[in-house]
Amino acid sequence: MSLNQTLDMWLALPERKFSRKCFRNSTTIACDCSGFMTLLFNALGKSTPYQLDRPKAVHYYSILQEIGSNHVDRLERGNVLAWRKERLPKSGDTGHVLLVAGKAIQSGDKRYLLPVIDATKRRNGLSQREVEVHTDDRGKLTGIRLHLGDSKVKRTPIYHHAISDSRSCFGCGLPTRVCGCGTIDAVLDAPPVIILRHPTERKRTLSTVSLIKQRYPAVLVKEGEIFSPLRLPNLALMFPGGKLQQECEQSAEDSATLILIDATWRKAKKILHLNSWLQVLPRVELSPDKVSDYLLRKVSKPKTLSSIEAFAAVMNDKTMEGLLRAFMERQIAVMGESIYLKNYRHYLNFSDDTSGRSHN
């Protein structure tokens, strides 16, 4: 059954209820916003985010942030759209996820009416209605009025992507040609690390933040060059000039929140320069005992690590090392081993064993 046929059938059911426990039968559909998406993904035979049986709004957001867009002009019928709460509650809502039901129509200065299908407590379950999305001068989505009768506009990053797209996998957030579904067990608790990502990093095929999210799908990733100060206690910045790795691991155990900048070295220094609040934070410096396993990116120094390797060191998570090696193997297989040997032999972290287990 197609997406449109499925939606038409569900919206025509005589009983539609809001419920945290989602189910559907011949007369009733009961769900909340993420439950609606779970039922829809299952009906269409698509992988849910991170292969979770019951993903929450934060997990849909996490995937969309990797594969989707945050611009109003790319909103189309059949797009999944989501936002998340920065500080996740121990229970309850983690954000909101909905399905776009039509084109956005401009209704004012940087405001658009958007037809959607979602499940809310206000509407007592599944319904088709309109929301109002807000943008900046460039059309980037910056906020939403979830109910048109409300005065409050939620200011938050928003991402969306077509549910039917076949180039990217909703299950892991990677291109389908290097899909990593089923290779990692997700840790659902939010880790004590926040990633500040330069916008160009998300567009890189070899970005490792998508890999981090496979293991920790609730990790908070903020994109930009200038960031508002984070209102959290015990913040520390992972950057040269601070404590060594062993003290860093102890900090994680002591409930410190560590900030990792995901960018090239030059752009990371620029982010630090543009954000004075980062400059005054205590710093944590990693001290790796081997060269990076990120075989397809040039490293400038023997102790330079990719974002996923730095993250794994902080969390003391050996599973993530295997995740990176498997990702490199898949990428090299797609590229062709002969091309890898030819084009990457001069790299400091080159390996003639493409499984990445040994280095020259």
* DSSP string across 217-236: TT-EEEESSS-PPP--SSEE
Tell me the torsion sign for CA atoms 93, 260, 358, 351.
positive
Quick check: 156 pLDDT over 70?
yes
Give 71's strand partners. 140
Q: Give the helix/strand (H/E) hosting 28.
A: strand 28-31
Give 271-288 pLDDT, tens digit per residue: 999 999 999 999 998 877
Q: So what's the pLDDT on residue 59?
A: 98
The answer to which of 89-103, 136-150, 317-331 has the lowest mean pLDDT is: 317-331
| CA distances for 142 relative to 83, 119, 145, 171, 271, angstroms | 10, 22, 11, 26, 21
Separation between Cα atoms, residue 223 and residue 66, nearest integer Å? 11
356 three-class SS:
coil
Quick check: 137 pLDDT over 50?
yes
Q: So what's the pLDDT on residue 245?
A: 47
Separation between Cα atoms, residue 122 and residue 83, nearest integer Å? 18
Q: Give the residue from 39, 36, 64 showing the smallest Cα distance to 49.
A: 64
Q: Give the helix/strand (H/E) hosting 22.
A: none
Q: So what's the pLDDT on residue 331?
A: 78
Quick check: 252 pLDDT over 80?
no
Confidence of residue 359 (pLDDT cuts 50, 70, 90): very low
Backbone φ, ψ for residue 242 (5° rounding): -135, -155
Q: Give the helix/strand (H/E) hosting 95.
A: strand 95-100
Backbone φ, ψ for residue 109 (5° rounding): -70, 110
DSSP string covering 102-146, please?
S--EEEETTEEEEEEEEEETTTTEEEEEEEEEEE-TTSBEEEEES
Task: Determine the average pLDDT of the residues in 31-51.
Answer: 96
Quick check: 249 pLDDT over 60?
no
| CA distances for 281 relative to 36, 65, 78, 259, 263, angstroms | 42, 27, 43, 10, 19
Separation between Cα atoms, residue 315 and residue 311, nearest integer Å? 6
Separation between Cα atoms, residue 19 and residue 120, nearest integer Å? 9
User: Is the distance from CB of 16 to CB of 118 less than 8 angstroms?
Assistant: no
Q: So what's the pLDDT on residue 358?
A: 40
Backbone φ, ψ for residue 5 (5° rounding): -65, -40
Give 70-115 pLDDT, tens digit per residue: 999 999 999 999 999 999 998 889 999 999 999 999 999 999 999 9
Quick check: 10 pLDDT over 70?
yes
User: Is the distance from CB of 159 to CB of 199 less than 8 angstroms?
Assistant: no
Quick check: 250 pLDDT over 60?
no
Q: Which residue has the higher pLDDT, 159 or 231?
A: 159
Q: So what's the pLDDT on residue 324?
A: 85
Work out the angle at residue 75's Cα, subtended by the Cα atoms of residues 73 and 76, and round it to the nearest 5 degrees.
Answer: 125
Separation between Cα atoms, residue 74 and residue 79, nearest integer Å? 9
Evaluate if pTM is beyond 0.85: yes
Q: Which residue has the higher pLDDT, 236 or 254?
A: 236
Please, what's the largest Cα pairwise distance for the chain? Answer: 67
Confidence of residue 23 (pLDDT cuts 50, 70, 90): very high
